[in-house]
Amino acid sequence: MKSHQLICVVDDDESVREALEGLLRQVGYAVEVFESGEAFLRSDAPLRASCVLLDVHMPGMNGPAVQVELSARGHAVPVIIITAIPSDALESSVLGNGAVAMLVKPFAEELLLATIRATSKGEPDERP
């Protein structure tokens, strides 16, 4: 049996973490959630992740700062930025720093799943 592709969700909002975790597990992804950028970076998840969903506005280290730190550490994991407060400048910045997409909350489940499939190179592993 193949191991499941790991999607990491980094968001300070517990309801967002729980909703995304439930959705992603339901379609077959392995999921790890983190309430802060610092907690995510302290873990070994950046080494194992197929894709990372990063919220922009979090206390402490924000999503774009985590994205830059991942790059500085040489982690080439695809990053999808999620935000409730979009701007053209933010989108230009995060995409310029290597994010594969920026999604605006609330986003459609289908859009999120299509973006993850496109960035993490495939479907979640089939369940037995």
pLDDT tier at 126, thresholds 50, 70, 90: very low
Residue 90 forms part of a structural domain: yes
Is the residue at 126 inside a domain? no
Nearest to 54 by CA among 44, 46, 62, 43: 62
- Residue 61 pLDDT greater than 80, yes or no: yes
Q: How many structural domains is the chain composed of?
A: 1
Are 73 and 44 within 8 A, CB to CB? no
Residue 128 lies inside a defined structural domain of this protein: no
pLDDT surpassing 90 at residue 2? no
Give the domain extent around 39.
6-119
Identify which has the larger pLDDT, 23 or 1.
Answer: 23
127 pLDDT exceeds 80? Answer: no
| Residues contacting residue 77 through CB under 8 Å, at least 6 positions apart | 46, 49, 50, 51, 52, 70
Question: Exposed, middle or buried by CB within 10 Å (0-12, 13-18, 19+), for 109?
Answer: middle
On the question of pLDDT at 79 being above 50, the answer is yes
CATH number of the structural domain spanning residue 55 = 3.40.50.2300
Cis peptide before 64 (omega within 30 of 0): no
Residues 17, 11 contacting (CB under 8 angstroms)? yes
In a domain, 124, yes or no: no
User: With 60 as the cut, is the pLDDT of residue 1 above it?
Assistant: no
Confidence class of residue 119 from pLDDT cuts 50, 70 and 90? confident
> Residue 11: is its pLDDT beyond 60?
yes
Tell me the per-residue pLDDT of 41-52, one tens digit each, with 9 for 90 and over: 999 999 999 999
| Residue 75 counted as domain residue | yes
pTM across the whole model: 0.91
